[in-house]
Each structure stands twice: as structure tokens, then as C-alpha cells.
Chain A
């Protein structure tokens, strides 16, 4: 139990909270600011690295992920200084993955070389759509041409490049999505994240939706058809799904994100970043201050964390399930039992199995494709008696 995290690995997440503009669908912690003192931010990240390294001495780091916000707005020097510092703090896995999220604009593409030199070995690009009208509606400030140019630079610079698309957009038909997806797959390198548009509360889209002003969203049935078509087409292109919304060539899965889904330990640094850290045999959930200035002040006073709370066994079990059931390999029933001290009921397992929603193979529990589409309902069932 105490070393449970080892089964999922150990990663470091660094959150850069700034964007050029706020996208109307995004509910991540991002802020638009013109005056960013990169030196001050670097100092704060370094301070947080020192603090968290002291808690996790000797652990082998499997991956680092710069997320945001828009971390491609960071100066390459800032990224380099962070990565140099990390090298001094933790032993590193030989195949360590260092990912940076990037916007596909010309300005940022100009920094790709610098990021590569700093040690970044993978970029994940927010291309989102392959037509300019939809990019505008999604509030993106780049064009398809910008994206193509940036993508070419990226694949010249990095071996591993992923990009994101959003589908089930306003007025999008199944046919349109299928041809857009084929186009995307023909240019993809080794990884794609394909997200169905989700209307989140507290976003511009959410407000519009609540007022009945967000028209043309596909029906639930069309959206479900799009999801199934996505699975088929990606498999055709040797980019099968390894998670609900993530597709990769075999072996090119995002190692960092797999740490989350395998319920490993991860440090979260930066405004609003979350972490899961096993300290003295007890898994804790950490959360950092959301507001950039509040976080900076807090770091100056010793820690950027706003809360560090133990996660009780039942909640850990729920988190393991809700993360682990998203990926192809599913979860280990014995690990679940070790975490929670109880087994998932056999009657619920056989009920779900009979419905063709899950597969139970000795210690392994995973969803079928049909089951994965309705994972929330499955989780409801699995967790109801826990």
C-alpha cells in the first residue's frame, strides 16, 4: 500500500497560467496578461522544485509536462533553467519524456528550437480544427495555415509531436468530421488527442449555452456516432485509442498522462496545479493557489500549495477506477482491493459483463469500446456500493 504509487510511476507537472487570449470553451486555469516577469516566475518555480524535491528524495522521475495556459509563451531560457534544475534534484529515467504544450502560431514556432535545446523532447500542439471558420468560432487566434507551418517546424525539431482536435463542434456533421479526421491522420506523426467539445460551466460557451444561444451542437446520437467513427478511422490509420480521447502509434503513448491514468504519483507546480503525492505511506492530494499573484506570494512565503489533504482509501479507490478505466489496459482488481480494503462486488461485475460493457480477465478489469463510451454510468455502478 505504502508504495502503491510505484505501480503508476512518478511525474512532474508544471503549470504556466498565461494565454494570449482566453478560449470560450476552456475551463483551465488561464489568465491573459501582458506583463509577465519571466525571471520572477522562474525563481518561484525553482523554489517549488526545491520544496517538492525535499519531500520526494531519491525517486526516479519518469516524465515532465509543461501545461497551461500556453507554456509555449515561456521563454526557452526559463524552460531550460527549470529542466537544468530538475536534473540536479531527482534521478531520471533513461527514456524520460519532457512534453510542452504549444500553440501553433508563428511566434511560438520560432521558439521550438530553443525548447528542444532546453531538453524538451515532445510537443503537444493545440491545432483544434482544420478549417478557419471553426477556429474562429472556437476563439482560436491562429489560422489553419499558421498551424501547418508551425506543425512543420515542430516535426523538424522533435521526434514526437502530438496535436489536439476538438470535434462535435457547432454545425459539424458526421461526414465533415470524418474527412477532417482523415486529413489529420494523414499528417499526424505518432499521437493525436481528439476531444469531443464539452460545454463547461463558467466558460463563455457555458454562459451562451445556458442562455440558449449556443446553437447547432450535434445531437447526443450524432455525437455518439462521431465518437464511434473516430475509433474506427484511427484504427485504420494505425493510431488506435489507448485512452478515451487519446490515440497513438504503439509505443508512442504519452508517458506522462499514463502516470495519471495508472494512478501514479505526480507533483503539481504552478497556479492551480494539482498533485498526488504519497508521503510517509499516505497518498495526499495537493492543490496550488489559483491566482498567479497569490501563488507568487505564497511561494515567497514557503509553499505554493493552498491545500494538502490525505485521500482516504475509498476515495483513492474511486480515483484509481475513474482514471484507470479510461485506458485500454484498465485496472488491476487486486490493486484496487489493496488500496480500498474491499473488492468490487461480483454481481455488479457480472451484470456489466453480461451487458458487454466490461471485460474481466483474471486480475484485469477494463471496458469494451461500448462500455468506454458510457464510462460515467459504469463508474456509477462500480462505485455505488463502495
Chain B
């Protein structure tokens, strides 16, 4: 049994690249939680994609035993949370399981948009927050300025911010002491009925569903029969333990503790994050305040390049969905792309991560169609339809009006680039809500249509600011606007996978840009190919791809037969990666590249 006052539960809040994972590594290493020989960088990021991209996707947990200067040994539970806006939902629920946060800010960079978003969640969860200025060993470090910025922008006291270099191991001891002395101990009653918060759950191929819990009151032991309060299902606890960060069995988990259980649960979907777990008998009758479930906001079609791999794709998607309740999918048929799935994601990074995992872990090459958002279509009949795919747009004569989702976007940028950022937001139909300065950095807050952001907004933002801008957003609800479905016709046939919803005023411009792009992306054929953009029956832009005139090999004699045949075989393999549409072969990359805007 661990005394409540010897427990500290905390998370680390930081912007990407500000050193969150490195700091976690140092805390784990300096307390000998992991033997040096087992230590690897970004220890808590277990997925390849997490390590490669330097991001955390799933929340991870580690229990650290720390012998403090006061002579006591404390149990420190760290929940490492994702830093990206797409996974904000995971952040918010992790925050609810702990009492304090370390706010890590790169002392050479300052506060970024994602720092803000996450720190506000920590404030909302009533956390005690300890600011940590990281990377103080770099020449560009400016602790005074960054501390001032934290006070100005976030509004918390940074006068006793810790000064750390996680990379060089400076200030680690001080950080551990601050966790013990500056963060509050958890509260809880060991003798009360069990109330455990279901923080997260995932599928493990050996253990089945693993459930991460935070005990609020009572004690949870092996073989206990537990009840999920949301649906009343009962399970028997098979394993109970903590993460160090690998699984380690314990006899029990008491108030304030964070650990895992397994209980023969088959699917992640059978567990509801935010649910309250209690005992079947003599359990608590009061549920903890739950979390609101996450909703997919971005949709796109995933199709196998090789249509024979459709079943493999189904299998891969089902397996990934087992472990990711925020990822939704349904079968989709496209005239251009054949059978595939319409999938819903929390955001673009989530989309990319899922797509990468399917391609890498399941070795299936994918065609990804243009991401779309959910439009609300109000029919003349009074009915409201949710439109996930522009191809399904109903007949306009039956439509009264359309509403689209809007976001509140927060962009922080050095003021040298502010003009470009404002222009970008303007071009994307943004409305300025706020513009403030903190030192030489500006913070612009915009009301933007989500459909202008889902595709390449972040890429454009990075490119116009040379990577110096940071960006975060929150959903803001729906608003009516003049939106139309723009179809693309290649050789006079509509290509459903290239249909997009656009604002009426921007349709001509987008149409022209798409036709020009497609003209470059589609190889020349034996005949000339008209490429048109149309709204309803009206063509609004047109390009013509000239016919192929000459490609014959000049010399082909006895010694060339083998080489030439192999060349044709290679072309044949390349052809397989194209999608035949009518008589036209469209390369798979065209379905995404055609939508990228250069401004």
C-alpha cells in the first residue's frame, strides 16, 4: 500500500520538438527505472511512426520510484500525452487522471500554439503547473524572455521556472524535487467503494484489451469482479499491474495510483474511455464525470492500389479500428477507384498516421482521396443530411441550404511572416478574430472553414513561414455558406473521386488550378483529352491535354529485344498503378496532388 502523500501524478505539456520525450527519458533514466542497457531514445513512444516523426500519438504511462532529498521515496506516475492537436482528446482525458503538469517550453523558441492549447487543458483540469525552460545549453537560449512570455501569454507565474537541458541532463534532479514539492498529492479514500477512472484502453495481441485506470477511491485487486458503470457489464480482473514502462504485476492498486488491468475484454470498443469502474458487489453508485467521446472531423477514401488487396485492406482497417475508437470506417464504392473505405479521422495527422500504418504494417499500397469534412445539408423537405463525401451530394433542386464546420485557429508566428500568414488565412476565407503580440511574435486567431484547412493549410503555413509558425485549432460549430459541388470531367466523364465542395466565389479559381494540375499529372494518351471543372452542368474551367505524338524507340535490333521487353514489363507494372477511367489512365498520385493549392 502506498500512502497518498507519497504519490505524485503528473503529465508533461509541450509543443512538438520542445523536448517532452527527452525529458521523460531523463526522468526515467536518472531514477534507474530502466537499466541503462535497455534505454533507448523516446522510450515511451513505442510505435515506429512516433519515433520517426518525433511525436507521441497514444498516451503512455510510466511509474517512477524516486528517493527525494527529504529521505522519503515517492511514487511518481507520468502520463506522457500526445502533443498534436488531432489527439487533443487523448490529452484532455489524460489530464483528468493526474494532479499536475510540467509545462516544457523550449527556451530558444518560446511558447507555441500547441503549448497554449494543451496548457489550457491542464488549467481546466485544475492542475498545479510547473514551468520548465528546456534547452538552456543552446547558444540561442533566452530564459528571461521566454519566462516573461509564459506570464504574458499563458498568465501563470514563471518566476521560479526550472532551467533544464533534458538532452545534457542539466536540472533533472531539480525537476524531480519540484514534482515532489510543488505538485499536490492525490486525494482519495481507501475505505470507500471503488471508483476507478478508465483512462485509456488498447488491444494487445497477447493479453487482449489492456485498460489503463486511475484509482480515485477504494482498492482494486486481482480476481475482483468489476462492473463498467456505463453499461453494467461485469468482468473478472485477470492481471493488475503498473508500467515501468514495461508491465509489472502488483497485488493491488489503491487510491491515487495509476496502473493497468486485463479482464478478458475482447474489443477496445467494449470499453468506454472516461467510464467509471467499480466492484460488482458493494460498488459505488456514483459515476465520475465522464469525457465526451471524440468525433471524427476529417473524412477520406482509402482504396487499395491493387484492387485484389481489398480484403487485405478490410482486415487491416478492422484491426486498426480495434485499437482506435476514434477511427471510423464504412465501405465505399467509387466508379474510378473501385472498392475501398470511407474513413473518419480526428484530423490530418491522424489520417496520415493511419494511412502510414496500413502501408507499412500491412504492406498495402493505398490511394487516398481528397480529405473532406462533414457538411450539413438542409433539404427543402426540412430534413438535415450529413454529407461525408462530395460524391454523394444530393440533387441541388432539393437542397435548401448548406452549412459547413468552422474552426477557431490559433497561429503563432514571428512578425516577419505575419503578412504572409494573414494573406493565407484571408485566401482561405478566414475571418480575423484577434491579433496580439508577445515580444516579436504575433498570435493571430482566425475563424476559418475547416474544409479550407484539412487539405494543405498546414503545409502552406509551414512553407510561407519557413517552419516558424505553429498552429492549433478547435471546432466552433456550423455556419451557412454558399458552397457548391465541383465535379472534374476527364475526357468528358466525371471522375467521382475528384469531386470537391468549394465556395461558389472560389470555384473558378479552384477549377482552373485543378485542371492545370491534372494536365501535368495525367500522361499524354493517343488522343487529346479535355479536362474540365464543372458545377452542375456548367463548365467553369477547361484545359486540353495534347495527344502523344512520338515515343517510338529509334533503334531496335537483335541485341535490343531483351532490354526492350523488360522496359515494356516495367511500363506495364507502372500502368497497374494507374486507374483507368473511361479510356484514360490516371496516376494514383493525381487524386491527391490535383487538390494541392500553390497559394
Residues of A within 8 A of B (CB): 11, 13, 195-198, 220-221, 223-224, 227, 244-245, 257, 259-260, 266, 268, 272-276, 285, 287, 315, 318-319, 322-323, 326, 351-352, 355, 357, 372-380, 383-384
Contacts and interface: CB of A to CB of B under 8 A. Distances in A.
A351 B583 contact: yes
A220 B549 contact: yes
Interface string B551-573: 11111111101101100110110
B550 A373 contact: yes
Given A273-B559, A380-B572, A318 B549 contact: no
B568 A380 contact: yes
Contacts of B526: 352, 355, 357, 374, 377-378
Given A274-B562, A374-B551, A260 B557 contact: yes
B561 A276 contact: yes
B542 to A, nearest CB: 21
Contacts, number: 98
Contacts of A196: 554
Contacts of A266: 558
B interface, over-half SS = loop
Contacts of A285: 561-562
B556 A223 contact: no
Nearest to B555: A195
A163 to B, nearest CB: 15
Contact of A198 (B554, B561, B575): B554
A355 B572 CA distance: 21
Contacts of B2: none
Interface of B: 525-527, 548-559, 561-562, 564-565, 568-569, 571-572, 575, 583
A274 B549 contact: no
B572 A374 contact: no
Q: 5 closest Cβ contacts across the A-B interface?
A: A224-B549, A224-B550, A375-B552, A274-B559, A376-B551
Given A319-B561, A322-B564, A373-B549, A380 B556 contact: no
A384 B583 CA distance: 14
A6 to B, nearest CB: 17
B587 to A, nearest CB: 14
Contacts of A260: 556-558, 561
A351 B585 CA distance: 15
Given A355-B527, A380-B568, A383-B572, A322 B552 contact: no
A287 B552 CA distance: 25
B557 A379 contact: no
B552 A268 contact: no
14 contacts: A13-B558, A195-B554, A198-B554, A266-B558, A315-B565, A319-B561, A322-B564, A351-B583, A352-B526, A355-B526, A374-B548, A374-B550, A376-B552, A383-B568
Nearest to B548: A374
Contacts of A245: 554-555
B572 to A, nearest CB: 6
Contacts of B553: 198, 244, 375-376
Contacts of A11: 558
Contacts of B551: 373-377
B526 to A, nearest CB: 5
Given A355-B527, A357-B526, A380-B575, A198 B565 contact: no
Contacts of B556: 244, 260, 322-323, 326
Contact of B549 (A276, A326, A374): A374
Contacts of A378: 526
